[in-house]
Amino acid sequence: MPSDMEIAQSIRLLPIWEIAKGLGITDMDLILPNGNYKAKLSVRLLEQLKDRPTGRLILVTAITPTRFGEGKTTVSIGLSMALNRLGKKSIAVLRQPSLGPVFGIKGGAAGGGYAQVLPMEDINLHFTGDIHAVSSAHNLLSAMLDNSLHFGNPLGIDEREIFFPRTIDMNDRVMRSMVVGLGGRANGPAREDSCVITAASEVMAILGLATGRADLKQRLARMLVALSFDDKPITAQDLGATGAMAALLKDAIKPNLVQTTENTPALIHTGPFANIAHGTASIIATNASLRLCDWTVIEAGFGSDLGAEKFVDLVAPLGGFRIDGCVLVATLRALKHQGGAPDARRGMLRHLWLGLENLHRHIENCRTLGMEPVVALNRFEGDADDELKLVLKACEEQGTKAVVCAPHSAGGKGCEELAQAVLEQAEQKPGANKPVYDWNSRVEDKIEAVARKIYHAGQVVYTPRAERDLKRIYQLGYDKLPICIAKTPLSLSDDPDCLGACSGFKITISAIHIRAGAGYLVPVAGEMELLPGLGKKPNALKIDIMDDGRIVGLS
């Protein structure tokens, strides 16, 4: 089978205005082309769409993945293409890939095989510049903070109580912790600082959760940057940064329209990770899609314990979304890994059998969140038929519909049975959106609700730092915010080595960050790095550009 890159470069793309016309957008002044094959939806179009009736929403989540991903984006794209093949008007709403994973271990996030969003090279690299705009807006605030300190510190900022880091859209472990301002009075004052990947930036979260320009500015204004010497909050508004930051995000707030390998529409906008942020494409893009088509397919990052939980408890209430259908992606590889196989690609039948506990737990999680999932068993090359049948039978015994799909090798056609099953399930058992906690409850109760009901932890404990963070949250009045737990995606627990269906374990909250602009708290479960490092053999070693301008090595 050809590589992802070869397939992507072999597809005949339609001009982007033809994709727009297929969505009923006839006034080409309402889209803003960026070359021939990608465009932004104008703010004027977004305003016009508000009066239209909404379509239906399908959430795609997954079981606990391996480090390489299980094809959740590929299934989302394949499902949307299959719905279109069945005569349903559908759009896939996806996050933009971060450059960190693209050049790191996981690779790009534009799908794979014959289920990709295109132009693949652009989407995986600089695309329309949105991530750069987020990085620039974020680092402008960092610069203005240090500038205020340099010129006499008129706001009385306590340098020991600065919460706002710098950001970069790259895996670079040496920048996790650093000292800035060295070199004398002209460059200082010197202080400790840190850096997070742009997908973990609060500005990225704000862009993803804002409902429009006015809401964007309000959220930027209330970002908590530091405390003063008398323990008063210092915000982006206090530093005078709001207007300039919003100006840098002028175009980044507009969703990006592209097409799939079968020339069906897709919207790609914002890129928050689900292990350290809320993990879905923007509310603006989702609302636009719901008014442009009958069926919107949206991907929630990682497993049901991260992406799906955050979508139901955080994103859906803010966006006013009702989930009508749910897809739970599983692979033999991930199941064998969860069953303890040393090498998931060569795992034994007993590993697969043990790994089914993880699948059952994620099905249970979906039901806890108010969704009846259809299991999409994503077929990889070399998967054995008897092992696939075993998983299908196990799901049937649990009363869960399961379908083998092959978006990578067969595109939309490989997901038609899945699409039929999802449509039937949405009619018979539509979702009900059941948040697991009340925003107005105590912070500890919200954390415990997710830990016990979704992770199946037996106990939640707090480090001394987390206890200090809790005290500050209550003192500053941020305790009514929802939570967005940062946790490893490789386990249902906070320990990446705890496989299968962990239960009764102790989960440790090591810190709780206040994201006042985004509008949530981030309890950190265990040890989480907000800036990944490159692997021993990163994907960057494979990527190159040829003399004719073709990019090679992306996957």
Give the annotated binding-site residues for ATP.
66-73
Which residues in 19-34 are b (16+ Cβ under 10 Å) and which e?
A: bbebbebeeeebbbeb
Contact assessment for residue 38 and residue 119, using Cβ atoms and an 8 Å cutoff? yes
For the chain, give percent helix, strand, coil, nearest 5. Answer: 40, 20, 40
Tokens of 548: 């004719």
Q: Taking the mean position of all CA atoms in its chain, how far away is CA 306?
A: 9
Neighbours of 417 (CB within 10 A): 15
| Number of alpha carbons in the 13 Å side-chain half-sphere of residue 352 | 20
- Binding site: what residues are annotated? 66-73
520 phi and psi angles, rounded to 5 deg: -155, 165
Task: Please state, in angstroms and rounded to a whole number, the distance separating the CA atoms of residues 60 and 376.
Answer: 9
Q: At what angle do helices 385-397 and 349-368 cross, to 10 degrees?
A: 40
Preceding peptide of 496 cis, ω within 30°: no
Which region, left, alpha or beta, applies to residue 239 given φ > 0 means left and ψ of -120 to 50 means alpha?
Answer: alpha
Nearest CA-CA partner of 119 in 269, 9, 255: 9
Cβ-based burial of 327 (10 A; exposed 0-12, middle 13-18, buried ≥19): buried
Distances (CA, A) of 308 to 274, 373, 489: 9, 11, 12
Let me know the angle formed at the C-alpha of 105 by 101 and 109, rounded to the nearest 5 degrees. 45
Distances (CA, A) of 73 to 66, 78, 115: 14, 8, 9
